[in-house]
Amino acid sequence: MNKAEEGMVFNIQRYSIDDGPGIRTTVFLKGCPLRCPWCSNPESQNPDPEISYRYTSCKKCGACVEVCPHGAPTLTEDGISIDRARCAVCGACVRVCLAEALKISGESMTIDKVFKLIRKDAVYYETSGGGVTCSGGEILSQPEFVASLFRRCKEEGIHTCADTSGFGSPEALDKVLAHTDLVYFDLKLMDAERHRELIGAPLDLVLQNLRTVAARGIPAVLRVPLIPTHNDSDENLNAIADTARELVPDATVHILPYHKYGANKYAAVGLRYTLDDLAENTPENLARARGIFESRGLKCEVSQ
Contacts with another protein by CB under 8 A lie at 13-15, 17-18, 22-23, 98-100, 120-121, 123-124, 126-128, 130, 261, 304
* Of residues 101 and 247, the one with the C-beta less far from another protein: 101
* Of residues 104 and 207, the one with the C-beta less far from another protein: 104
The CA distance from 291 to 103, in Å, is 44
Cβ at position 91, least distance to another protein in Å:
15
* Of residues 172 and 286, the one with the C-beta less far from another protein: 286
Q: Is the dihedral of CA 136, 142, 144, 145 positive or negative?
A: negative
The CA distance from 22 to 33, in Å, is 29
Cβ at position 76, least distance to another protein in Å:
22
SS3 287: helix
* Of residues 87 and 302, the one with the C-beta less far from another protein: 302
Could you tell me which of 7, 25, 43 has the C-alpha nearest to residue 143? 7
Residue 100's CB is within 10 A of a number of other CB atoms, namely 10
Cβ at position 170, least distance to another protein in Å:
34
Cβ at position 253, least distance to another protein in Å:
17
Cβ at position 96, least distance to another protein in Å:
10
Angstrom distances, CA of residue 109 to CA of 5, 7, 65, 78, 207: 8, 5, 28, 34, 31
* Of residues 239 and 256, the one with the C-beta less far from another protein: 256
Report the half-sphere exposure of 55 (CA within 13 A, side-chain side): 16
